[in-house]
Chains A and B, each alone.
Chain A
Amino acid sequence: MGFPHKSHPKETVVLSQYFGDAEARTYKGWVKRGGYEALTQALKMDPAAVTDVVKESGLRGRGGAGFPTGLKWSFMPKEKKKPHYLCVNADESEPGTFKDREIMRWTPHALLEGTAIAAHAIRAEIAYIYIRGEFTEPWTIMEHALAEANAAGVFGGIKIYLHRGAGAYICGEETALMNSIEGKRGNPRIKPPFPAAAGLFGMPTTINNVETLAAVPHIITRGAAWYKGLCLSNPKSTGTKLFSVCGHVQRPGNYEVTLGFPLKDLLYDMCGGPPAGRTLKACIPGGSSVPILTREETEATLLDYEGVVAQGSMLGSGGVIVFDDSADMVYQIMRLARFYAHESCAQCTQCREGTAWTTKIMERILAGQGKTKDLDLLLDLSENMTGKTICVLSDSCAAPIVSGIKKFRGEFEAYLAGKRQPVMVG
């Protein structure tokens, strides 16, 4: 449902059914709503059979990459020679994204249940849920739910622990997340080896996003065919997805729709469109790391992995940032560049230098001191920041720059020509 608003008739409510229902946070309340039935059922199944059901459902990773979940699980060694680990990525830090926070705040047991099922499927005895340090409220709720579930003894031999981050966007990158759990700086690792071969503490590991795991109990109890049937467009994109909508809309919040749903209906019907008297100018559909869409592209987008790519962007995390005609795209792109410059782990030169210089050039343009060749310089920098580093943080900084200059060039040129009031950037 469109928390904090009432459910909209066009939503398909699965994961968000109990958002806003405080009783669902408690163990008793969760069991009363059919909770932990899926876990009981899964624990009686062979781990490979659980993986097969998830594979068959078509569920894909909801953290941003969209990798098929069952396939990821199947990469874990068939013959268990070492401890296996599951890491749950609750480091939600992608600007525009706030869905995992809501899942943990309202349905902590849904995440714990999905975590235990996944741990069983990959034969992990320990699962760490990595929650970003700033999520103080979700942490307290998760801690309480975990204590209640442990007291009820629902997890069998699986141990689940919470691990608190300490302020670093990059720890949402799976290998950086593992380093952070190991008590290290959150620097991403070079792949291969992939986590399923050598992950946390050098052992076979799977990393899954909160929303992905919250969907798993539903797939177990209602079946792969039911999940697969939730599809409005491309059969490679199945199930429901939470979209966090923010920025210039009348009713920001989380909305759950079946994949393939039109972005236009989400923004205008559910979110009420831009504030009165304003018109939509641009939209970032999948968290700040994906290319910006124009109004025309936005209104033609179908929300699934393939549909957003067809319009030149990506579904990503489902964090939808809306800009109306009052937004200064040059200033906002500078803010995004600054975000990546601040969050770069500084391992790779292209990223450490590239994000910093991109920000400086953007600030120079805003201050009215830009040069005509700055736009080419930014594009050249972006090219050298794409596909050249250990992780994709650097690529993510380049995405809004490249798409921004291409689609809103006039706004950049207005600053360069002295036709816009310079903005002194603090």
Chain B
Amino acid sequence: MSTSHDTTEYQPVFVGKVLEELQTVLQRYPNKQAALLPTLWIAQREAGWISDRIMAEVAEVLGLTPAYVKGVVTFYTMYHQHPVGKNFVQVCTTSPCNICGAEAVLKALLEQTGAGDAGATSPDGKWTIVEVECLGACGFPTPILVNDDFIENVTPDKVPDLVRKYR
């Protein structure tokens, strides 16, 4: 993980157009702190994950402390605290999907992408597969999210095509 001891030069995220976007976001709220979740979403979109140094930059632009920002980042599961593969896949395995075969979908994805274990990234850097709790589409088992693409009714036999499509 990137830390404050890194000696590489840090490229700030909130400059130019991204900074302008942040200004628009700030207008929606009565104070800067309330813009923290949307600001972190922008940061993750730009950098792929939320490093300690990005948290420090977010803290500075919103007038918060880095420790406060870290406290919020670590509460929410969708902010990546370490780099993830090009395709970040979330597979629902909660009870309603579970009884419809979600664990077989997870297994097929882990095997066919080379990711191996849930949460690990495949050696080619292309895939990170995670098991998540309820995605709110229980009538369409098994729903998965590939990055921002929400895909319904995934079964093990559909996994090879999916893997080919996103590879």
**B81-120: which residues lie under 8 A (CB-CB) from chain A?**
90, 93-96, 98-100
**19 A-B pairs, CB-CB below 8 angstroms?**
A4-B139, A94-B134, A97-B138, A135-B150, A137-B150, A169-B134, A182-B34, A184-B33, A185-B71, A185-B72, A186-B75, A246-B138, A288-B134, A319-B138, A321-B95, A321-B138, A332-B99, A335-B93, A335-B95
14 further contact pairs, Cβ within 8 A, besides A134-B135, A167-B79, A343-B133: A93-B136, A95-B133, A133-B76, A134-B136, A166-B40, A181-B37, A183-B35, A183-B62, A183-B72, A246-B96, A248-B99, A332-B98, A335-B93, A338-B133
- Verify if A241 is at the interface (C-beta below 8 Å from B): no
Q: Contact: B33 with A166, CB < 8 Å?
A: no
**B57-88: which residues lie under 8 A (CB-CB) from chain A?**
62, 71-72, 75-79
Would A98 and B136 be within 8 Å (CB), given that A165-B37, A166-B40, A201-B31 are in contact? yes
Name the B residues within 8 Å of A184 (CB-CB): 33, 72
Instruction: Report Cα–Cα, A165/B72, bound state, in Å.
Output: 12
Name the A residues within 8 Å of B98 (CB-CB): 332, 335
Interface size class of A (residues with CB under 8 A): 35 or more
Q: Contact: A164 with B38, CB < 8 Å?
A: yes
Name the A residues within 8 Å of B94 (CB-CB): 95, 288, 335-336, 339
- Verify if B54 is at the interface (C-beta below 8 Å from A): no
Q: Contact: A288 with B37, CB < 8 Å?
A: no
Interface size class of B (residues with CB under 8 A): 35 or more
For B137, give its contact among A101, A133, A248 (CB under 8 Å): A101
Across the interface, name the chain B residue whose C-beta is closest to A140: B148
Instruction: Report Cα–Cα, A410/B147, bound state, in Å.
Output: 43
**A177-223: which residues lie under 8 A (CB-CB) from chain B?**
180-186, 201
Q: Contact: B36 with A183, CB < 8 Å?
A: yes
Q: Contact: B35 with A164, CB < 8 Å?
A: no
Would A181 and B75 be within 8 Å (CB), given that A95-B95, A244-B138 are in contact? no
Name the A residues within 8 Å of B159 (CB-CB): none
- Verify if B149 is at the interface (C-beta below 8 Å from A): yes
Q: What is the 8 Å Cβ interface bit string for chain B, positions 17-42, against chain A (1 contact, 0 not)? A: 00000000000101101111110110
Chain A nearest CB: distance from B142 CB in Å? 11
Instruction: Report Cα–Cα, A54/B148, bound state, in Å.
Output: 37
Q: Contact residues of B with A, CB < 8 Å?
A: 28, 30-31, 33-38, 40-41, 62, 71-72, 75-79, 90, 93-96, 98-100, 132-141, 145, 148-150
- Verify if A132 is at the interface (C-beta below 8 Å from B): yes
**A113-154: which residues lie under 8 A (CB-CB) from chain B?**
132-137
User: What 5 A-B pairs come out closest when comparing CB atoms?
Assistant: A183-B36, A167-B77, A167-B78, A166-B76, A246-B138
Name the A residues within 8 Å of B137 (CB-CB): 98, 101
Instruction: Report Cα–Cα, A254/B139, bound state, in Å.
Output: 8
- Verify if A163 is at the interface (C-beta below 8 Å from B): yes
Across the interface, name the chain A residue whose C-beta is closest to B97: A246
Name the B residues within 8 Å of A95 (CB-CB): 94-96, 133-134, 138
Instruction: Report Cα–Cα, A42/B90, bound state, in Å.
Output: 42
For B38, give its contact among A96, A132, A134, A163 (CB under 8 Å): A163
Instruction: Report Cα–Cα, A338/B38, bound state, in Å.
Output: 29
- Verify if A290 is at the interface (C-beta below 8 Å from B): no
Candidate in A92, A180, A183 with the most chain B CB atoms within 10 angstroms: A183
Instruction: Report Cα–Cα, A248/B95, bound state, in Å.
Output: 11
Q: What is the 8 Å Cβ interface bit string for chain A, positions 281-293, against chain B (1 contact, 0 not)? A: 0000000100000
Instruction: Report Cα–Cα, A332/B79, bound state, in Å.
Output: 28
For B77, give its contact among A166, A253, A335, A339 (CB under 8 Å): A166
Q: Contact: B141 with A246, CB < 8 Å?
A: yes
Instruction: Report Cα–Cα, A248/B138, bound state, in Å.
Output: 11
Name the A residues within 8 Å of B62 (CB-CB): 183
Candidate in B41, B75, B96, B150 with the most chain A CB atoms within 10 angstroms: B96
Name the A residues within 8 Å of B100 (CB-CB): 246-248
Name the B residues within 8 Å of A163 (CB-CB): 37-38
Instruction: Report Cα–Cα, A96/B92, bound state, in Å.
Output: 12
Instruction: Report Cα–Cα, A98/B33, bound state, in Å.
Output: 31
For A183, give its contact among B34, B132, B150 (CB under 8 Å): B34
Chain B nearest CB: distance from A134 CB in Å? 5
Q: Contact: B139 with A244, CB < 8 Å?
A: yes
Across the interface, name the chain B residue whose C-beta is closest to A128: B28
